[in-house]
Structure 1
Amino acid sequence: MSAATQTPADPAPSPLSQEATAPPEAAGTRADRFLASALEGLSRSRVKALIEAGHASRDGVPLTDPAESVRAGARYALAIPPPVPATPAAEAIPLTILFEDRDLIVLDKPAGLVVHPAPGNQQGTLVNAVLAHAGDDLSGIGGQARPGIVHRLDKDTSGVMVVAKTERAHTALSAAFATRDLDREYLALVWGLPATASGAVEAPIGRHPIDRKRMAVVGRGGKPALTHWRLERGYGAAAGLLRCRLATGRTHQIRVHLAHINHPVVGDPVYLRRIPATARLLPENLRSALLTFPRQALHAETLGFRHPVTGEALSFRAPPPPDMADLLARLEAHVARR
């Protein structure tokens, strides 16, 4: 029997190395803070993780403490290993892409699609879909070949979302969302007609004191939250279409705030606690259509931001999906017949 011939394994990809010399003004700064500011496209948390994993050096000597004080004139190097495959599996789920380049994807998320895998929901998510769509174009975020989720929409909220494909884009977009340096507008079909044409709800939001699966306006322990709204269209006194802008980004913020002012979102399974009194103002078939609408009638219609790399001002719009558009059309027809 002849000996088997072994072919050498493919060599592992070489890490990408970035270097920076510390200027005098950087002396005394934390090493992770200095490297995050001096090197391109890396968040401080990512730099810290790389230092702790042994991928950093100072003047050729291993650097393992992210908090070590920077020495002026020292040469710092960071070896960035190639991204490892993401844990979620890629799945061929259709996506409506509004814009895409090497740094990001803007898409129109359908209602019913969960954004991120979670316990009990590891498949069929937006992340799984983007992994299949973008494939090798994902350059690695946090050391993994995965899309960067910088904001989320609830499972049953539809509309415009942006997803980062690179760590540089992820860092910049995350900062923009954190500082609200962008434009976002939602359309919400609500029960009842507000007494004014516009308004704002400023009320802190936290976990409901009894039902921990819900959020609520709370007197103590909540986070500041501010929602601006404008009446887009009234349907008699029964319902109204509101255009909402967020000044903060709390969990379920629009839904909680509108329920708080007694104009809950139509179809909301969590914050619509009883049949609204204004439902009786609609004919039976239309009343039934609103009361049985299977999700919250909330749609992220527009999203505007500056491109994280080029600085170009970008703006995107997606009309309400067919289920919500049909409900609005039926309300319009009802008003027209009156």
Structure 2
Amino acid sequence: MTKILINEFKNRLDKFLVEELNKDQEYSRSYIQKLIKDGNILVNGEMQTKSNTNLQVSDKVEINFPEIKKSELKGEKIDLNIVYEDEHLLVINKANNMVVHPGAGNPDGTLVNALLGREEINLSNIGGVERPGIVHRLDKQTTGLVIVAKNDKTHQELSNQLKDHKVYKEYIALVWGNIEEEKGVIDAPIGRHQNDRKKMMVTNKNSKYAKTNFEVLERFENTTLVKCWIETGRTHQIRVHFNFIKFPIVNDPIYGRLSDKTDEFGQMLHAYKLQFIHPIKKEMVKLKTELPKEFLDRIKKEGGAKHEW
């Protein structure tokens, strides 16, 4: 589909498109910026790929909307533990061993497949056809709270909150060793592992800033139960950071102790609490969820008692 608009005032290309296109249909700013970057915008017949291009009065702007790729993903009837839902978003308590979205080696059985298997559900398109609705992710064996957006506006607003560190995410983790400090901060950049591209590591080479805060909840003979909250959202961040300070997460199959006899449940890491401003209602949403039974059983085995943190 092609649409032609005439500019009436001096304006930036991206601002002009946001204002004009949203008169008829809702388009996110990121979608419009991608249209420009991908060469789908012509100004007076010439392709423009910079969002800050200045328009003059009477410039003819031609928008070539690319054909939307149809998802080949299939919905599956998989039970989901939904802790919050309205017409704009939902928050799911992700089960252990569930991958968030399809990828190499995981074509089905994912959270996305489960979402598509629900009747009459709309999901945002910002993440592309393979990741509809997915605002942020958790590792396969990390359990807990995940936000899913039902439309692009909600997705964009939530992504901005994540980028601006306005989404509070709190985790509970059981780590090897006895941490002496009551509280601590792990401030160390994370990048791809130099020898294994599937792993991450603390490094100053091609890395990104990463910061994890933690507080000790209980100490056992060989392990420590900690609460942690992250100020950044790097891949495997908590797992990498605790491995870096020599207190790896119990049962972590990648960053844990080599002597750790890992089982199917995976690492003892749970996304316990979530807090954010609802992108449409502008109200504070505060959610938390109980630890999985296997996690609670391991804490009990270590000598701890069930209680609220």
Same fold (TM over 0.5): yes
Q: Determine which of 206, 210, 228 is the counterpart of 2:195.
A: 210
CA–CA separation in structure 1 for the residues paired with 2:231 and 2:38? 38
* Structure 1 residue 136 displacement after superposition: 4.6
CA–CA separation in structure 1 for the residues paired with 2:130 and 2:87? 14
**TM-score computed with the length of structure 2 as normaliser:** 0.83
* Structure 1 residue 144 displacement after superposition: 5.6
Which residue in 2 is equivalent to 1:171?
Answer: 156
C-alpha contact (below 8 Å) 2:173/2:268 kept by paired residues? yes
Which residue in 1 is equivalent to 2:213?
Answer: 228
Which residue in 2 is equivalent to 1:267?
Answer: 251
Partner-residue secondary structure (3-state), 2:303: helix
Cα shift readout 1:281-306 (whole Å, capped 9, x = no counterpart): xxxxxxxxx76574000000011111
Which residue in 1 is equivalent to 2:303?
Answer: 332
Which residue in 1 is equivalent to 2:267?
Answer: 296
CA–CA separation in structure 2 for the residues paired with 1:38 and 1:179? 27
* Structure 1 residue 240 displacement after superposition: 1.0
Distance 1:201 1:53, change over 3 A: closer
Q: Determine which of 233, 247, 253 is the counterpart of 1:249.
A: 233
Cα shift readout 1:223-263 (whole Å, capped 9, x = no counterpart): 1111100011112x411111111111111110011011111
CA–CA separation in structure 1 for the residues paired with 2:4 and 2:287? 35
C-alpha contact (below 8 Å) 1:20/1:76 kept by paired residues? yes
Give unmatched runs, 5+ long, in structure 2: none
Which residue identity does 1:109 align to in structure 2? K
CA–CA separation in structure 2 for the residues paired with 1:72 and 1:56? 17
Cα shift readout 1:57-82 (whole Å, capped 9, x = no counterpart): 88xx8886354532347697979799
1:177-216 counterparts in 2 under 5 A?
177-216=162-201
CA–CA separation in structure 1 for the residues paired with 2:248 and 2:90? 32
Identity of aligned residues (%): 36
CA–CA separation in structure 2 for the residues paired with 1:51 and 1:219? 33
Distance 1:62 1:131, change over 3 A: farther
2:122 is aligned with 1:137: yes
Partner-residue secondary structure (3-state), 1:159: strand
CA–CA separation in structure 2 for the residues paired with 1:182 and 1:202? 19
Partner-residue secondary structure (3-state), 1:168: helix
* Structure 1 residue 178 displacement after superposition: 1.4
Partner-residue secondary structure (3-state), 2:301: helix
Which residue in 2 is equivalent to 1:32?
Answer: 14
- Greater share of helix: 1
C-alpha contact (below 8 Å) 1:131/1:146 kept by paired residues? no
Which residue identity does 2:239 align to in structure 1? R
CA–CA separation in structure 1 for the residues paired with 2:6 and 2:91? 34
**TM-score computed with the length of structure 1 as normaliser:** 0.77
CA–CA separation in structure 2 for the residues paired with 1:255 and 1:53? 36
Which residue in 2 is equivalent to 1:65?
Answer: 48
Give unmatched runs, 5+ long, in structure 1: 1-14, 277-289
Which residue identity does 1:248 align to in structure 2? T
Which residue in 2 is equivalent to 1:9?
Answer: none
* Structure 1 residue 56 displacement after superposition: 6.9
Cα shift readout 1:110-168 (whole Å, capped 9, x = no counterpart): 01000111123211111111112254533654786973212110000000000111011
Aligned Cα RMSD in Å? 3.4
Cα shift readout 1:155-201 (whole Å, capped 9, x = no counterpart): 00000000111011111111111121111001110111211101011
Distance 1:138 1:243, change over 3 A: same
C-alpha contact (below 8 Å) 1:19/1:75 kept by paired residues? yes
C-alpha contact (below 8 Å) 2:89/2:148 kept by paired residues? yes
